[in-house]
Structure 1
Amino acid sequence: MTALPEIHLPAAPLGSRVDAVVEALLQPILSGDWPPHHRLPSEHNLAGQQGVSRAVIREAIARLKSDGYVETRQGKGAFVAAAPGGNSFKLAEDSESDLLELRALIEADCAALAAERHTLADLQALRDAQAAMRRVIDKGGLGLNEDIHFHDVLAAAAHNPALRRFAAFVGRHAREAMQLARLSRLRYENRLAEIDAEHGAIVAAIAARDPAAARAAVLRHISNGLKRLGLPPRFT
């Protein structure tokens, strides 16, 4: 079970405490540490971990349930939803190119903000995520989960929780449905290294604290992804 970060806000208003717990519980859901159908710790355990009352935990769970990240089962507790965040917005009928364009616009902003706001820990997490995908590829794997994780870490480095949640939601629709086939074809064509190089350019621009270069690197990455899918690029 993934350990949650300790958050102690004894003097904060109820709304602030609930917001903090919601963000703490979202972290393992968005990162994939708590996959769909994973059972959350009990209210009692969460209250102890987060240093808040069970009433705060119940309100946080209710909010996550309303947003589609969590579902509750009578007598069994709370579980990660089958499609976390799926109640928030509907993208199922949009084309691959439209989804990738939306993803590009969101992630370009994430990268620009990350270039301005990232910590040393954020930068290390990005480098670790890139290295993890490279290791899987070197062993003959596709690196799909590692690719998704890289982009979640990128969104987290922007230090805007709302933007991160939306980026994760769009990314899930824009990547998971189409990327398996794309990565399988690219492995056959021995072109997975292109993705690694593009990730490296994003990391380098963020490390240099260059928002314009970080934004351009993401747009170039998505544009190249469109071309790899056999679709016309939308960014130059």
Structure 2
Amino acid sequence: MQKSTLFDAIARPRRLPDEVAQSVMSAITSGALKPGDKLPSEAEMSSNFNVARTVVREAISLLKFDGVVDSRRGVGAFVANREERTSFRISPACFEKRREIIKLLQLRTSVQSGAAALAAELRTDAQMEVIETVLQELLEANDKGPEAALEERVEAELRLYQLITEASENEYFCDVVNMIEMNIQNYLRSAFLKNAAACEFEPNVILEHKAVVAAIRDQAPETARVATRKRFSNASDSLAARKDFA
């Protein structure tokens, strides 16, 4: 069967339905798939992604639940028109994942604030220069908005705090932060991205990131600790406060 060029095969074995759904969403966001376009058949998508047809079926179900695609019996699945989509909804499975993300953010609040305090004390000029560069990348991605630069924005934020952690010169902090990020990447990425789109593009969030970097630049350990704790506590609180709009 000839493969479409719309999608790439998924190499990672976990979270396959979420990965397929995210790939379809990326194609829609980029304009490769437009409202009214018919998705490739289940068999074709299975071949393109190199996954079982049941995985594709579940991914399409997730997209249908969120109103991203419409399914027509005997015809196929189509990209829904934005104005005709139902209100944004989150699946029950996503709520379970959200609780896991909150737990990870709660853990990271303590770890990251300690790492930031050490980074403020120990960082080098070279490390500070890279931290400032990645903060600027985060700001630029943020200005594009969640529809245009969601993954770019999330990846910049992850890199920013990885660099801050590395500047602490404490490999144990690095190990814990890497463990947290690995759990997000391997099990919770789709839910993490969805919640980031809803919560993380607000102006106050950008001010919080800037406050963390400014404290590290000024070599003010306690200010960095407090600013970082505030950023991650607020991220956890805003995530916990979200509601399901039916």
Question: TM-score category by the smaller chain?
Answer: 0.5 to 0.7
Q: How many residues align?
A: 141
Task: Establish whether residue 101 from structure 1 lines up as the match of residue 106 from structure 2.
Answer: yes
Instruction: Give 1:231 deviation, angstroms.
Output: 4.1
Name the CA distance, whole Å, in 1 between partners of 2:238 and 2:171: 31
- Greater RCO structure (CA 8 Å; 6+ sep): 2
Instruction: Give 1:116 deviation, angstroms.
Output: 0.7
* 2:132 partner amino acid: R
Name the CA distance, whole Å, in 2 between partners of 1:222 and 1:163: 16
Name the CA distance, whole Å, in 2 between partners of 1:106 and 1:115: 14
Which has the higher mean CA deviation after the structures are superposed, 170-179 or 193-202? Answer: 170-179
Name the CA distance, whole Å, in 1 between partners of 2:162 and 2:225: 16
| Counterpart residue number, 1:124 | 129
* Misfit runs of 4+, over 6 Å: none
Name the CA distance, whole Å, in 2 between partners of 1:186 and 1:220: 15
Distance 1:201 1:172, change over 3 A: farther
Structure 1's unaligned 5+ residue stretches are: 1-35, 38-91
Name the CA distance, whole Å, in 2 between partners of 1:126 and 1:194: 20
Instruction: Give 1:199 deviation, angstroms.
Output: 1.0
Q: Choose between structure 1 and 2: higher helix proportion.
A: 2
* 1:141 partner amino acid: A
Task: Establish whether residue 182 from structure 1 lines up as the match of residue 195 from structure 2.
Answer: yes
Superposition RMSD on alpha carbons, in Å? 2.8
Structure (1 or 2) with the larger CA radius of gyration? 2
CA contact (8 A) 2:211 2:227 kept: yes
Instruction: Give 1:152 deviation, angstroms.
Output: 0.6
> Which of 192, 204, 223 is matched with 1:194 structurally?
204
After superposition, the C-alpha distances for 1:26-66 in whole angstroms (9 at most, x for unaligned) are xxxxxxxxxx89xxxxxxxxxxxxxxxxxxxxxxxxxxxxx
Distance 1:174 1:198, change over 3 A: farther
Q: What's the secondary structure of 1:132's corresponding residue?
A: helix
> Which of 143, 149, 160 is matched with 1:141 structurally?
149
Structure 2's unaligned 5+ residue stretches are: 1-11, 14-96
